[in-house]
Amino acid sequence: MQASSLNQVMSEVMNERALVVLAGNDAPSAGHVVSWSVDRDHYGSAHELATRRAHATRLAGLKGYRYHGEAGPLDGNVSDSAPVYLVPSDTIVGCDLARSMGVHSESDLFGGVVPFGYVATKAISHPLHGVAAAPEGWATAFAPRIRQSVLDGYSAYSEADARRAGRWLLRGGKVRIKPVRATGGCGQTVATDAPSLDRLLAEVPGIDTDGVVLERNLRSPRTLSVGQVAVGELRVSYYGQQRLARNHEGEWVYGGSDLTCVRGDLDTLHALPGLSIDLRLAIDQARAYHAAVIESFPGFMASRINYDVAQGNDDSGRWCSGVLEQSWRIGGASGAEIVAMEAFRDQPERRTAHASTVEVFGETALPPGAYVYFNDIDPAVGRLTKYAFVEPNADPT
């Protein structure tokens, strides 16, 4: 299907429903899954577009719907009478926009909705330092609620505020500077002293509009993922760890995730036997963070949540654990999430599943039954192979 507006998609859906009635059968036709590129400049590369469409097709299978294609720019409201499930490229910002796209609850999309733009970025996780500039809708009470779930740090919306916050943090060791919209660790730098802090902050674009995060730097941390997805009647939660891969420039970038999944919510995940103390803490921190978001931001909803938790020592040798960032959109681990949900759907007795995503910059051998969602040359990153698989047997624990 050629790219069309969501109104055109809805018109086609409604025409199909009318034909069914004319044929003497008043039962509605199957629902439709529609992918939507919220911003073509964000998550709009060839491999990201292909991945999103492939995942939307698999999600259609889980819903018992059909994949209808990619929606174009929004030009009107969606009819409430047609069953449409949305797979947006990014977290939807604004409850009015979500409703105009037919999203009224988490069951209407794979992803999430936030009331203000900053809530979908890393800036949500930390307080401002003293009296400082703040974006629209800034919730002063949120950061204290999640204080035990994140690393020491501050968010800032001016270079001057960032310098003040950074100097305060430098008293305890190196400071990591994080652009709030970048993913996979891209664009992050580490300041060792005040001069390097000033120099690096001057290179961060969009501080006055998007903000910047300054955070306690950890040495060689381990990054865990804790998440949950809900599609139809299926709800699956997981913990896992990310892997790195070298891209064609020799840089270390995201290379996939290995997930241990359970049928149920984060409480079910936390109750798994045999979890290490560190892992149980990471799940606790993600649960507390998520609960605070739900209670602090009216209008928030999400059917797909993912929290990255870093654990390691800071420069003083103190062991730390905290949520690095949140994701309420289709993401790098979603291929594994989908094949895990398919395994739970096909095997009702199954309680756990081990699923993985793999990203290789080049050709690679594939495991049996792999779900390949990109295997081509992306003009931006070169030859790339992306796939997911689930181990055939459930973990007996």
Q: Token pair for residue 383?
A: 């030859």
Across 15-24, 30-39, 104-113, the highest mean pLDDT is recorded for 104-113
Q: How high is the pLDDT of residue 19?
A: 31
Q: What DSSP string runs through 235-266?
A: EEEEEEEEEEEE-TTS-EEEEEEEEEEEES-H
Q: What is the pLDDT of residues 248-261, one digit of tens each?
A: 999 888 899 999 99
pLDDT at residue 365 tops 70 = yes
What's the first-to-final CA gap in the chain, in angstroms? 45
CA–CA–CA angle 38, 42, 43 (5° rounding): 90
Q: Token pair for residue 57?
A: 């097709």
DSSP SS3 for 387: strand
> Among 15-24, 212-221, 292-301, which stretch is predicted with the lowest mean pLDDT?
15-24
Beta strand 382-390 pairing with 352-360: antiparallel
| Neighbouring-strand partners of residue 323 | 309
pLDDT at residue 201 tops 70 = yes
pLDDT at residue 118 tops 60 = yes
Residue 76 confidence class, pLDDT cut points 50, 70, 90: very low
Task: Return d(Cα 317, Cα 313) in angstroms, integer.
Answer: 5
Q: How high is the pLDDT of residue 31?
A: 86
CB atoms within 10 A of CB 57: 16
For residue 133, CA distances in Å to 128, 140, 211, 309 come to 8, 12, 10, 27
Beta strand 84-88 pairing with 252-263: unpaired
Residue 199 confidence class, pLDDT cut points 50, 70, 90: very high
Domains defined along the chain, listed by start: 6-90 (no CATH), 118-140+152-217 (3.30.1490.20), 220-390 (3.30.470)
pLDDT at residue 24 tops 50 = no
pLDDT at residue 137 tops 70 = yes
| Host H or E run for residue 393 | none
CB atoms within 10 A of CB 395: 15
| Neighbouring-strand partners of residue 177 | 189, 214
Residue 202 confidence class, pLDDT cut points 50, 70, 90: very high
**C-beta of residue 170 within 8 angstroms of C-beta of residue 316:** no
More confident residue, 67 or 75: 67
| Neighbouring-strand partners of residue 107 | none
